[in-house]
């Protein structure tokens, strides 16, 4: 079984091979798994019988806690530093996977600074696009030859791709790009016996929302059709279903998880 050790792929180093896990458990890679939606997906995937490769950008301690929780469910886990803006970091990670993947969950993203586009910093804007679009596309490219038959690429999109993001126009544009990537890629990889899907949540109750004043949070929740925000568990359950054989004919779809918003 893999234990939650840290692996740090980077542009200037070659990481050691991952230790061989229990072969009976399918292997799932989740990017951006140190908190929020990624952590919830990791926890549920471990409960559903997956071994995990979990990536984080900089918060190794949080990733280790997620790994420990997954190990408590019987999963073998490796945590790996990954910079989606660095193609060599992506290549290094995939070069040292221990066996074919059952699936990849593209969860990591960079939101960038909130505000009007006319005030956007060029470097910040570039990093949002490079991380979210190019980085995710490169992860998919690296993953395709390493997916086992029936493997699935799941990409986290957002309702902002369709309805826009307040002060986050470039972030919303990158999520729209990922929808197009998913639809096109699904057609490319279908002859290989692989699937590609996207999950598009509405407002999810994660750290940014929890930072709002309680009265504002309650007001926002009351304005939603179901009277509450989408939870990280709502998203995780959808992702795990899409990875399963029960969703075996769903490909090229952008699945909304928005509570009729």
147 forms beta bridges with 101
Pick from 231, 185, 189: which is nearest to 210 by CA? 231
Exposure of 250 by Cβ count < 10 A (0-12 exposed, 13-18 middle, 19+ buried)? middle
Question: Which residues, in sequence order, are bridge partners of residue 55?
Answer: 80
Pairing of strands 254-257, 195-201: parallel
Distance CA 14, CA 10 (A): 7
Contact partners, residue 40, CB within 8 Å, separation at least 6: 232, 233, 235, 236
Q: List the beta strands (DSSP E) in 57-172.
A: 77-81, 101-106, 147-156
Told to judge if 171 belongs to the known catalytic residues of this protein, a careful annotator would answer yes
Residue pair 19/41 in contact by the 8 Å Cβ criterion: no
Distance from C-alpha of 246 to C-alpha of 227, rounded to nearest angstrom: 29
CB 171 within 8 A of CB 198: no
CA pair distance 96, 215, nearest whole angstrom: 48
User: Which one from 50, 56, 171, 249 is the annotated catalytic residue?
Assistant: 171
Task: Quote the tokens at residue 74.
Answer: 């019987």
Active-site annotation, residues: 171
């Amino acid at each position: 079984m893999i234990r939650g050790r840290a692996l740090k792929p980077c542009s200037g180093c070659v990481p050691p091979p991952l230790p061989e896990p229990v072969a009976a458990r399918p292997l799932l890679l989740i990017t951006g798994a140190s908190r929020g939606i990624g952590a919830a997906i990791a926890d549920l995937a471990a409960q559903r019988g997956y071994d995990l490769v979990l990536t984080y950008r900089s918060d190794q301690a949080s990733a280790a806690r997620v790994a420990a929780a997954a190990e408590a469910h019987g999963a073998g886990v490796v945590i790996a530093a990954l910079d989606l803006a660095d193609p060599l970091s992506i290549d290094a990670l995939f070069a040292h996977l221990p066996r074919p993947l059952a699936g990849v969950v593209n969860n990591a993203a960079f939101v960038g600074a909130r505000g009007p586009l006319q005030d956007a910093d060029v470097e910040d804007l570039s990093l949002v696009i490079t991380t979210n679009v190019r980085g995710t596309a490169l992860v998919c490219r690296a993953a395709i030859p390493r997916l086992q038959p029936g493997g699935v690429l799941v990409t986290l999109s957002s309702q902002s791709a369709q309805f826009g993001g307040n002060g986050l126009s470039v972030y919303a544009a990158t999520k729209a790009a990922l929808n197009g990537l998913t639809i096109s890629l699904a057609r490319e990889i279908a002859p290989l016996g692989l699937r590609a899907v996207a999950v598009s949540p509405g407002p999810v109750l994660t750290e940014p929302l929890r930072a709002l004043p309680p009265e504002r949070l309650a007001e926002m929740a009351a304005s939603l059709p179901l009277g509450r925000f989408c939870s990280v568990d709502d998203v995780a359950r959808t992702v795990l279903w899409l990875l399963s054989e029960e969703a075996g004919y769903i490909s090229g779809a952008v699945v909304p998880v928005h509570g009729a918003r």
